Amino acid sequence: MQYHVQIEITLKPTVMDAQGTTIEKALHKLGHTTADHVRIGKFVTMEIEAASSTDAEHAAAEMCRELLANPVIEQYAVQVVDKEQVA
Amino acid sequence: MKFGVVVFPGSNCDADCLYAISAVTGQEVRYVWHEERDISDLDCIVLPGGFSYGDYLRCGAVARFSPVMEAVVTHAALGKFVIGICNGFQVLTEAGLLPGALYRNDHLKFVCKPQYLRVEEPNTPFTHFYQHGQVVEFPIAHGEGRYYADAETLTRLEDEGQVIFRYCTADGQITLDANPNGSLSNIAGICNQARNVLGLMPHPERRCDRIIGGTDGKKLFKGILESFMVRAISLGHR
């Protein structure tokens, strides 16, 4: 079965995110003073052919460890999404 | 002695490296296409600056999976010399040949300017012609050169003398203002534990000719040749 997978890659909380800080300042300037702890990351989507949702999730996590994220500075979160929900 | 300069799709300092190494050392230098798997003829391999694979995903993330990188890993394991300059340094960290990571400059801008560096460690095959604490000037040109490593790794690098170059002022002071990208501890260049793999963000190959601004980089390439010769003599097959 084919699963739709969404992956979020962000800098670890211990790594300073200069983009996030800059965007947060810009938001504040625009009057959005309620915005706090802004972090910028990457969003990857893909279809994965797998026997189950868990298998799809494991496959995506493996891809993150090998290539999509750099474990020295980044963390990732994998979500397998219901196809109908995406459409 | 024979040098090689890797050419990834998107490398743009390969010709500069080839020219500088050839002019400074007088030794044979050849280009190494990223699809080559046999680099056993080489004694030193250089990963040059540029934007390998368009810097897609992360700088160096895709390049590290190119066929030549397997050969570079073997080359390094044999104790032969490897230098990564700028994008080459990023590739070496992605490949795990050097610890830590390089990411977006703290001010988010691409920075391109001459930069003072302090030589922290003359005790490497690359830097032994420099004095400890000597200030040199190499240009920098990068958007993602901010060095990061976790506290434990950083302590180990400092304790083992693996921090080779630090960003500094003209008189060698390590200050926040002299740090062009937010690198931890002003780190500009490091080596591995075995001291045969060097990575640095600044460009020594752009400081090998007075006509383009200076010759501070010459000692680095001369140093490698000398180290190779000394090693060859001690092995008895010069």
B214 is written with which tokens? Answer: 């200076």
| Cβ atoms within 10 Å, residue B23 | 14
Nearest to B55 by CA among B106, B111, B9, B113: B9
Beta strand residue intervals within chain B, DSSP E: 2-7, 28-33, 44-47, 81-85, 101-103, 111-119, 135-142, 146-148, 163-167, 187-191, 197-200
B133 is written with which tokens? Answer: 């604490």
B11 is written with which tokens? Answer: 């490398």
Q: Nearest residue of B to residue A67 by CA position?
A: B61
Report the DSSP pairing between strands B187-191 and B44-47: unpaired
Summary mean pLDDT of chain B: 97
Chain B hits for A63, Cβ within 8 Å: none
How high is the pLDDT of residue B86?
98
CA B6 to each of CA A54, B93, B180: distance values in angstroms, whole numbers, following the listed order = 41, 16, 27
B150 interfaces chain A, CB cutoff of 8 Å = yes
Q: Residue range A19-26: average pLDDT?
A: 95
CATH architecture for residues B2-235? 3-Layer(aba) Sandwich (3.40)
Q: Is B36 a residue whose pLDDT tops 90?
A: yes
ipTM value of the model? 0.85
Nearest-5° Cα angle at B84, B225 to B42: 45
Q: How far apart are CA A42 and CA A7, in angstroms?
A: 8
Question: What is the residue extent of each domain of chain A?
Answer: 2-86
Q: How far apart are CA B197 and CA B80, in angstroms?
A: 8
What is A2-86's CATH number, 3.40.50.150, 3.40.50.300, 3.30.1280.10, 3.30.2310.20?
A: 3.30.1280.10
Q: What are phi and psi of A24, to 5 degrees?
A: -60, -45
Q: How far apart are CA B53 and CA B169, in angstroms?
A: 34
How high is the pLDDT of residue B237?
58
pLDDT-derived band of residue A48, with 50, 70 and 90 as boundaries?
A: very high
Q: Is B115 a residue whose pLDDT tops 80?
A: yes
Mutate to test the interface with B, among A68, A70, A75, A76 (most CBs of B within 10 A): A70
How high is the pLDDT of residue A86?
58
pTM for the full predicted model: 0.93
Contact yes or no for A72 and B182 at CB 8 A: no
B121 catalytic per annotation: no
In this structure, are residues B208 and B24 in contact, taking their beta carbons and an 8 Å threshold?
A: yes
